[in-house]
Amino acid sequence: MNLAFISHDDCRQHKMGAHHVEVPERLHAIGDRMIAAGLEMLVTHYDAPKAAREQLLRVHDPSYVDMLCEAAPKADDVLVWVDGDTAMNCCTLDAALRAAGGTAYAVDLVMGERHHAAFCAVRPPGHHAERKAAMGFCFFNNVAVGAAHAMAEHGIERVAIIDFDVHHGNGTEDIFADDERVLFCSSFQHPFYPGTGADCKAPNVINIPLPARTDGAAFRAAVQARWLERLDAFAPQLVMISAGFDGHAEDDMAHFNLREPDYAWITKQLHELAERHAGGRIVSCLEGGYNLSALGRSVAVHIDELIGHG
């Protein structure tokens, strides 16, 4: 079975200004690198549908969803800022609905018989979006929408969400802390934006705060010490990934020193976890990664491992 690759052109129309780092070219860089790496023939492309309101309300408050819908500008030359670094243009709402809906659709695909794994090349990202707040370039929490969809529509009782973005997945933690159906694991630079995660006491959250200049060896050692045994004991029926690649040494958004082999390694660990416990079912959703070359290369090795070539 090949990999499901979910995206949509609407995700390329969301723009937050000329000098913003979260740009449509991120998706172009991924597509170009996949062609160069010979991965295009190994995936099946799907258009991301828009999330239904019911799907959003499983993880977001109705008043918050209404606020975003009402705030979305209609004119193509208007930006509406909902957070200090998070803005909506006239295409943002459609893009955010596709990003969340595409992740739920990816769950549907891996729960079927055609695909064991899916990658959602969507933007805006989602892991900073809390139940009632947009922040950090994020509007709807895509991976949370997907996980809640899996539990509500497919009867999944245990979902593991692993977030290796260089920033703490505060939104996912806000939504799922103390929900025993979800084991949430997040690694991140600390102290750093958004300044959360170091003191969470929820029993279903395993945060790994790591210092600036953390390299691959330190990252792997922390994952082995803190995550892998707990993930095996949890025995997830579905593995979901918030796949952020802004911890790459070439990415100026943070101060980690990870490289492509480190992203391949963590992906292989999670793929093997899914094979042991979840029938191979794994859904990965793009989060950060802002150096275009490093992003393309990192996503390519990530997808290669999801396919199972490692």
Structural contact between residues 96 and 140, judged by C-beta atoms closer than 8 angstroms: yes
Best CA proximity match to 274, nearest among 308, 310, 303:
308
The pLDDT value recorded for residue 215 is 98
- What is the identity of the amino acid at 72? A
Q: Which CATH number fits the domain 3-305, given the four candidates 3.40.800.20, 1.50.10.20, 3.30.365.10, 1.10.8.60? A: 3.40.800.20
According to DSSP, residue 247 is labeled: T
The pLDDT value recorded for residue 1 is 63
The SS3 of residue 46 is strand
The SS3 of residue 273 is helix
- Write phi, then psi, for 280 (nearest 5 degrees): 80, 0
The pLDDT value recorded for residue 2 is 87
- Cross-strand bridge partners of residue 44: 4
The SS3 of residue 57 is helix
- Cross-strand bridge partners of residue 187: 208
- For each of the chain's 310 residues, which pLDDT tens digit applies? 689 999 999 999 999 999 999 999 999 999 999 999 999 999 999 999 999 999 999 999 999 999 999 999 999 999 999 999 999 999 999 999 999 999 999 999 999 989 999 999 999 999 999 999 999 999 999 999 999 999 999 999 999 999 999 999 999 999 999 999 999 999 999 999 999 999 999 999 999 999 999 999 999 999 999 999 999 999 999 999 999 999 999 999 999 999 999 999 999 999 999 999 999 999 999 999 999 999 999 999 999 999 987 5
Token pair, residue 66, equals 């209404």
Best CA proximity match to 146, nearest among 184, 181, 108:
108
The pLDDT value recorded for residue 310 is 55
Structural contact between residues 120 and 284, judged by C-beta atoms closer than 8 angstroms: yes
The pLDDT value recorded for residue 309 is 73
- Is the model's pTM score more than 0.95? yes
| Cα 115 to Cα 44, 49, 278, distances in angstroms | 9, 18, 13
Locate all alpha helices (DSSP H) within the chain, ordered by sequence. Answer: 25-36, 53-57, 62-71, 92-111, 142-153, 170-176, 216-226, 228-234, 260-277, 292-307
Q: CB atoms < 10 A from the CB of 51, how many? A: 25
